[in-house]
Amino acid sequence: MVVIRLARAGTKKKPFYRVVVADQRDPRDGRFIEQLGTYDPRKTAHGLNIALDRVDHWLGHGAQPSESVGHLIDRVRLAAPRA
């Protein structure tokens, strides 16, 4: 199954995450299919950057977001201006 999840990057005590599409069987920080964005929890205002068009593409093809990524996607959708 294909999942949308966080892959940890950064250094010790300074986490930085990539929002990636990966096979469920691959390790957390291992191989991924596509990078959809980034998340920096240490920044308060603009630490979140996700390409919603690519998220919608992968959700339409059956990818399942993890619980934390689901919350991040909701947060980006609320902050996005209505077109």
Q: What is the pLDDT of residues 4-37, one digit of tens each?
A: 999 999 999 999 999 999 999 999 999 999 999 9
**Domains, the chain, ranges and CATH?**
2-79 (3.30.1320.10)
Distance CA 83, CA 47 (A): 23
pLDDT score of 73 more than 90: yes
> Residue 54: which of 4, 18, 16 has the closest Cα?
4
Interaxial angle between packed helices 67-79 and 52-60, expressed in degrees from 0 to 180 and rounded to the nearest 10? 130
How far is the CA of 58 from the CAs of 4, 41, 64, in angstroms? 8, 24, 8
Confidence grade of residue 83 (pLDDT, cut at 50, 70, 90): low
Q: What is the pLDDT of residues 53-70, one digit of tens each?
A: 999 999 999 999 999 999
pLDDT given at position 38:
95
Distance CA 77, CA 69 (A): 12
